[in-house]
Structure 1
Amino acid sequence: MKSKSIIAAVAASLLTGLGCSAQEQPKVSTEPSRILIAYYSWGGNTKYAAAQIRKETGGALFEIKPVKPYPADYRECTVQAKKEIQEGARPELSARVEDIGKYDVVFIGSPNWWSTIAPPVSSFLAGHDLSGKTVIPFVTHGGGGMAR
């Protein structure tokens, strides 16, 4: 599957420090026990991408879940998401990673909603100190153009 190969190639290049930066990359542990894959998925696409990253890295999966789920209806969900993004909302999450300090590498996945990350991912980022960690974002996108 082509998308699996792309995910693996991106993850491998980022984990081995072959990024586009001219600066030397800090040394981080890529042991599976030191890798976290946190993601929010509304329709299942980001969950699938996170599972593929887990398959390649062996990291731990953490699903970011809002206390109040988004509507199952696509149109209703987009209306709510747009309003929350415009307001800078950070919905309450049902759980947090209590032992975030044990991870060196944190993949963070989100669907692209209105040209940015989903509000539950904003809540996750605001509620966890990722200082000193290698943070690797990944995004799923269903249409439109790329933006922020």
Structure 2
Amino acid sequence: MFAAVHALSVPDQRGLLIEDLNRSTGRLLVRRPESSTTPSTWTNSPTAWLAERYQRWPTSTNPYLLVTARTAVDDTHPMVCPNAITKSLRRQSLQVTRLRVDRVLDEARHTADPLHLVRLFGISPITAMRYLRAAHPGGLRPDPAQA
């Protein structure tokens, strides 16, 4: 869900912290070391996952949102391994990278603002422009402020 809806990469997903969920505003803060933090709006899935997590491992102190049976009870509080995220998708012939690309491209179809893509998905300005050019093959309209 995080890859398809929010275009989160595997490292982004692994680094999600429970404390970054704000249930009252429906926001999830995505911490990216190479860029600024990015708030994303989320749906009921994280809430359902938290309920299941607390039911399965009520004494877990692991600060990460995503845990497995092994990481939930490990006192060193490790992140889940990348395979824990990608394995279920591979069974359905899906890949996180492709889901992420599709989501960013879909957003690029609805905007001509590269900064929007940079802030929303944590991508570089050059990458944002590549998505915009792909989404608008007829060319982007020039910015009237620069005319």
Give the structure-1-normalised TM-score: 0.24
The higher radius of gyration belongs to: 2
Higher share in strand: 1
Higher share in helix: 2
